[in-house]
Chain A
Amino acid sequence: MTPNLLLAAIMLINFMLVASSRVSKCIQLAALQGGLLAMVLLLMHDHWPFHVLLMAFSTAAIKGVVIPAMLNRAQDRMKPQREPEPYVGYTLTLVMAAAGTGMAFILARRLPLQPGNLGTLFVPASIMALFTGFLLLTTRKRALLQVVGYLVLENGVYLFSLLLVKQMPLLVETGVLLDLVVGIFVMGIVINHIQTAFDSQDTHRLAHLKD
């Protein structure tokens, strides 16, 4: 079985992320996407040597459980408040995501794959996730949604790295995952400070520094 079905599911999640307005739902979707990444990794191999199992397990644990739990905790500590309207509306971002997907396919055609990976959706799915993450980061005002955007962007990068399991040593993969956790942890701390200082998570209020 090729991993294409799962990759298509991952791309579908990107659309749902862009269309969703609730933070908790976005966190769930990002967690699901992280779990799917681990499954793609397992599907790519016929037999599973130790380092593949270890990587799949740590991916599922970190992207599917640890980081979503951290984000959920940050979300629970927030005071309930109305979602600020995004800079760009949901319908328009959805259209932009669709356009981005088309671009991703065009771009991917110009990058020749190795014979073993021919016909897979890795490159378009990766570029599309990157684009979706970027969209969330730039069009949403809620700090937590921006962090979800960063997570999706990282998922896109991770997706591409699956083509390199043999090339990138485990040490490097571990370092990358660890940096992601610490990065999101630090973002969580900063969000907490923003909440305390501004009594809101709306990054729109972070607009004092200008030329």
Chain B
Amino acid sequence: MILALTLMPLAAAAIVWFMKPGLHRARVLPVAGVLHLALVLLALTRSFQPQPDAWLRLDPLGGWMLLVVSTIFTLCSLYAPAYLALRMERNFGVFGVSMLGFLGMASLVATSRHPGVLWVGMETTALATTPLLYYNKNKRSLEATWKYLLICSVGMALALLGTFFVAYAAQQGGLGEPIYIDRLVANARAMPVPWLKAGFVLLLVGYGTKMGLAPMHTWKPDAYGETPGIVGTILAGGVTTMAFLSLLRFFSIMAAAGLAGFCRELLVAMGLVSMAWAFVFMIRQGDLRRLLAYSSVEHMGILAFGVGIGGKATLFALFHVAANALVKSVLFLGSGNIVRSFSSKSLADVSGAMRRLPVSGWCFLLGFLAIVGSPPFAPFTSIFGIASTALGGGHLLAGSLFLALLAAIFTAMGSVILPVLQGNPNPPSVRTHYEDTFGLTFPLVLALALALILGTWLPGPLHSLLTKAALLVEGQA
């Protein structure tokens, strides 16, 4: 059952590979996406029984993250057939196999109990998404691919060393093979502190590179800037989510070892640096996709900050994973539609998008308002929750910095984005044949609606899932 979460997408990838070339290959994606989401929901309705010998199992934390990624993937897969129909010159085989390969590996990461298997899954997601980055096949996307490949590979090597450090600590603590994460948490007190600390620093840098925390985020603007919006969604909502999950797995070991304070300081610092860095590069940003990339850096910072504050904020950070991923899919897919209509992603050439593309334009505007934390969308709930926990818990300086940066980012991002959406299209701007169609807009509306619902009402089962996941992050239960 748990293994099916990984194997089903891989089987679908094999089917796509052996199908005859043509658009029907793209239609496998929505079927596989919906099926995977159903499997995840089914697995979550079962109780989380500990199985001492199983290498794979779904616990509340992995389950929550996989639910988010599976939802994002399904939204993208619903968008994919209409999108690929616009690009008949491309080979859909590589696209489909890479997308489904990513989903399979994300499931492996979410369900793996062993830190080594976790690493192998993460590294394979990086390799599976590389062909997606080179999808546009031009010099600029080549440069982005090379940077992504090299920087993320180095990050993953550091994460591997960090994993080994923790394993060596376990060996010294007298813990035998196999070192499942839950066993590491249970025996964390006996492990030598220097190895754990050094390991966590390496893991923070390593998986932080993959998440895109500043200053290891340098691949991100290039990668998001040069790929189609649909790939940007998968990277910003999927790959980063899994990297965050990997980091949290190790954070729970550190918390159980009594090193939570040390780790939290690092996370808060890293989070604030990421937000500040994103703010600086958002001012007068001239490229729509790079702007979204820096917004992603900012929100990874918010996640790190939330876990760094701890307590209630951990729960809000986990909720923010879903809020950010949903709204980011609206923004990336919407930006794809806008860029296609104006045949440029340089902001100097794009204006009056709401008049030309009413549905995409409106979704993009609402998505922008949501991502900067306006009520009643989901990001407001989590950002407000994190800020109030920080200020209420005595983190006055950190909490005020957090709020100040959010306000600064709101103005910086707004001053860049609003001229794009409002007014009339500039006379010299290119007008392609692209028009909003149902297939290219309903996934955006769906994602926005989900963000709205989560912002106003969190269903009971999801709330209990989140509560259990937050306890796991803190090294309890």
Contact = CB atoms under 8 A, between A and B. Distances in A.
Interface string A127-164: 00010011001000001001000100110110011011
Contacts, number: 125
Contacts of A194: 142, 146
B222 interface: yes
Interface in A192-211: 193-194, 197-198, 203, 206-209, 211
A168 interface: yes
A153 B154 contact: yes
Contacts of A187: 149-150, 153
B34 interface: no
B140 interface: yes
Given A167-B171, A179-B127, A146 B150 contact: yes
Nearest to A187: B149
Contacts of B246: none
B111 to A, nearest CB: 15
B139 A198 contact: yes
Interface in B63-103: none
Given A190-B134, A208-B139, A164 B145 contact: no
Interface residues of B, number: 47
Given A179-B123, A179-B127, A186-B130, A197 B194 contact: no
A146 B146 CA distance: 11
Interface stretch (A16-24, A30-38, A73-81, A110-118): A110-118
Interface in B108-123: 114, 116-117, 119-120, 123
Interface stretch (A3-11, A53-61, A169-177): A169-177
Given A157-B161, A172-B120, A211-B221, A166 B114 contact: no
A169 B116 CA distance: 9
B351 to A, nearest CB: 21
B72 to A, nearest CB: 24
12 contacts: A153-B157, A157-B157, A160-B168, A172-B119, A175-B116, A176-B116, A179-B120, A179-B124, A183-B153, A187-B150, A194-B146, A206-B143
Given A164-B164, A168-B177, A172-B116, 9 more contacts: A110-B194, A111-B194, A112-B192, A112-B195, A150-B157, A166-B177, A167-B171, A175-B117, A179-B123
